[in-house]
Structure 1
């Protein structure tokens, strides 16, 4: 894909994002908006932004002992990644993030795998095992 404004080729990325758990409990919508703004301000476009779960951290980060995890797939120009990382460091919501490039075909495989998992979960829920007595 090519960005119409700049003419640069956009790439697909995956990010794992840790946000302050206390802030997310107090204002989840505000935290989600702040995460989106951090990325979208630099021209990123979310394909998927999924909330995972809150977890205890192995060590404190900025005084926080727990974090809410998000997993995201987004497209952006390669030049935007450094800007996104810098914006996240300067912001108060995101504790840590890891961004890795994901080729488009791999993303399609991930989506297909998730669809199969969802189908299997739905089938299991529709046909619960019968207990043996």
Structure 2
């Protein structure tokens, strides 16, 4: 589990605990309302177990809050670095993976030159079947 996912899970668990106690419910009472064990509620509240979307919806109904309540005051400062391959789509990802599998440096250089020439519409060099 990533650090961000862990922090989100911990935050949601804290919000469940806060709302449950505001309503004066015990873990056992909430568990019975959800038809799960009190240990499972305990694990949700501590962030030890992840909560599915369906279960989060059930919790929002039983705790009488909107689903957005669980994410209130959540602040994640970590920005996600851009993906090495640009993350533009399956074809881009496959292209980068396949390119990275080429072990011969001269072949890699040739493929790189070919791609550069194909991607530059103003290239003064025309690619012909003979050149390829």
Into which bin does the TM-score normalised by the smaller protein fall?
under 0.3
TM-score normalised to the size of structure 1? 0.27
Structure ranking higher on relative contact order (CA contacts 8 Å, 6+ apart): 1
Larger radius of gyration: 2
TM-score normalised to the size of structure 2? 0.27
Q: Which has the higher strand share?
A: 1
Q: Which has the higher helix share?
A: 2
